[in-house]
């Protein structure tokens, strides 16, 4: 396999000026802090804005891997080496916040072949590709979020979190209710391609989308009144830790569902001393023409039960009717979590007991 080419952004800070340069540098740090294949080269055609280096040092941004600060002014006869580069950011005349990733997405639609953070895979989570479909490829609907909408009416929360929000598909069907009840919605996801779509499609004064790891949420305890997650836990690094994080940050409980393994199948690989089982189904994604590792991390049933004992505002229900992995000879015990004060069995008459809904 050929080595991936390093992607370099260039910025003439003389032309950009202090405020614009600062915004672009902060954007780079936000979107590419975990990407070793990118670089931001800061050069100047007539000297850097005076406060820039001092500000970079004070904020620690100058020490971020990938940021290259060229101290010396580039002489006029050498500037062509920079001004002929494809990703010269100050030539993006009306640069707005987050445009650095929009440019990256435009020129480099794939980041890795085996990751959710690439454009063809993120397509199938984009509501625009689903809202007019009537065939078996349709993945989202009002019915799928009806239980969440009911809980929003019941609790009338101030703040909610959608953990693993993707490109905002769940938000799309909840947005009318969220506006009506004046709820502040926060959607988090680790996929840059998903989040930039969500920002561009749905972000407003009541709605925030941001990069975050559901197993390590950067929020204080009880920051949110209510939370939910869908089609996320099986793909994150540690589903049990993600459940604990949701419980920590959500005051009134949360919605979540996941497959678990009750009996130890010899065919499944153990992770984290047996708390997780590693299942690679070898499946292909609907809109991707290569085999991608459709890998599920399925937690141990007893470990989930033990963790859930501390969830004071959550009701847990076991329903094993959906045996998604049965064709592979793997049988699961399926657990569903609901906000306790809201939960009653008759509210789930039309609920899909499919943990990957």
Q: pLDDT tens for residues 7-50?
A: 999 999 999 999 999 999 999 999 998 788 899 999 999 999 98
> What is the 3-class SS of 43-74, one letter each residue?
ECCCCCCHHHHHHHHHHCHHHCCCEEECCCCC
Confidence of residue 2 (pLDDT cuts 50, 70, 90): very low
Residue 257 has pLDDT above 90, yes or no: yes
Residue 329 has pLDDT above 80, yes or no: yes
- Average pLDDT of 289-303? 75
Residue 289 has pLDDT above 60, yes or no: no
- Whole-number percent of the chain with pLDDT over 70: 92
Residue 290 has pLDDT above 60, yes or no: no
**Residue 130 has what pLDDT?**
80
Nearest of 95, 101, 104, 107 to residue 23 by alpha carbon: 95
Beta-bridge mates of residue 317: 336
Homologous superfamily of domain range 122-348: Vaccinia Virus protein VP39 (3.40.50.150)
Sorted by sequence, the CB contacts under 8 Å of residue 169 that are 6+ apart come out as: 125, 126, 127, 130, 139, 140
Q: Two tokens at 63?
A: 């020490």
CB 230 within 8 A of CB 324: no
Q: What is the DSSP string of 169-228?
A: HHHHHHHHHHHHTTPEEEEEES-HHHHHHHHHHH-BTTEEEEE--TTS--S-TT-BSEEE
Residue 256 has pLDDT above 70, yes or no: yes
Number of CB atoms found within 10 A of residue 317's CB? 15
Nearest of 206, 154, 202 to residue 178 by alpha carbon: 206
Rounded to an integer, what distance in angstroms lies between the CA atom of residue 48 and that of residue 90?
14
User: φ, ψ for residue 121 (rounded to 5)?
Assistant: -70, -40
Confidence of residue 283 (pLDDT cuts 50, 70, 90): low
User: φ, ψ for residue 276 (rounded to 5)?
Assistant: -130, 150
The b/e string for 81-117 (b: 16+ C-beta within 10 A; e otherwise) is ebeeeebbbbebeebeebbbbbbbbeebeebeeeebb
Confidence of residue 285 (pLDDT cuts 50, 70, 90): very low
- Average pLDDT of 259-273? 80
**Residue 94 has what pLDDT?**
86
Q: Angle of helix 99-107 relative to helix 18-32, nearest 10 degrees?
A: 60
**Residue 114 has what pLDDT?**
56
Instruction: State pLDDT tens for residues 201-226.
Output: 999 999 999 999 999 999 999 999 99
**Residue 357 has what pLDDT?**
63
CB 12 within 8 A of CB 82: yes
Instruction: State pLDDT tens for residues 84-111.
Output: 999 999 887 789 999 999 999 888 876 5
Q: What value does the CA radius of gyration of the chain take, rounded to a whole number of Å?
A: 23
Q: Angle of helix 50-59 relative to helix 18-32, nearest 10 degrees?
A: 30
Nearest of 68, 43, 53, 64 to residue 22 by alpha carbon: 53
**What mean pLDDT value characterizes the chain?**
88
Which one has a higher pLDDT value, 125 or 57? 57
CB 333 within 8 A of CB 301: yes
The model carries a pTM of 0.90
Residue 75 has pLDDT above 70, yes or no: yes
**Residue 291 has what pLDDT?**
45
């Amino acid at each position: 396999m050929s080595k991936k080419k390093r992607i370099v952004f260039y910025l003439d800070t003389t032309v950009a000026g202090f405020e614009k340069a600062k915004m672009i540098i902060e954007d780079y740090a936000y979107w590419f802090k975990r990407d070793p294949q990118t670089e931001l080269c800061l050069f100047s055609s007539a000297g850097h804005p005076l406060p820039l280096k001092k500000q970079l040092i004070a904020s620690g941004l100058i020490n971020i891997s990938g940021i290259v600060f060229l101290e010396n002014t580039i002489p006029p006869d050498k500037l062509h080496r920079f001004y002929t580069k494809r990703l010269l950011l100050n030539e993006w005349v009306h640069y707005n916040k987050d445009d650095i990733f929009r440019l990256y997405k435009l020129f480099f639609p794939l980041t890795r072949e085996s990751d959710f953070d690439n454009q063809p895979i993120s397509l199938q989570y984009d509501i625009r590709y689903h809202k007019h479909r009537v065939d078996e490829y349709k993945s989202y609907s009002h019915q799928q979020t009806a239980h969440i909408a009911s809980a929003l009416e019941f609790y009338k929360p101030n703040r909610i979190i959608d953990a693993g929000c993707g490109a905002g598909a769940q938000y799309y069907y909840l947005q009318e209710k969220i506006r009506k009840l004046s709820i502040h919605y926060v959607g988090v996801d680790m996929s840059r391609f998903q989040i930039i779509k969500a920002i561009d499609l749905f972000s407003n004064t009541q709605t925030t989308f941001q990069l975050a790891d559901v197993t390590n949420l950067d929020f204080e305890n009880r920051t949110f009144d209510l939370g939910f997650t869908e089609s996320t836990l099986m793909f994150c690094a540690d589903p049990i830790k993600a459940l604990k994080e949701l419980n920590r940050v959500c005051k009134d409980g949360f919605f979540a569902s996941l497959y678990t393994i009750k009996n130890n199948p010899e065919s499944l690989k153990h992770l984290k001393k047996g708390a997780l089982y590693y299942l690679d189904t070898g499946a292909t994604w609907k809109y991707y023409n290569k085999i991608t590792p459709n890998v599920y991390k399925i937690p141990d049933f007893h470990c989930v039960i033990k963790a859930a004992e501390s969830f004071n505002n959550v009701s847990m229900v076991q329903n094993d009717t959906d045996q998604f992995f049965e064709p592979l000879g793997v049988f699961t015990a399926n657990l569903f979590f609901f906000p306790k004060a809201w939960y009653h069995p008759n509210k789930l008459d039309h609920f899909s007991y499919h943990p990957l809904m």
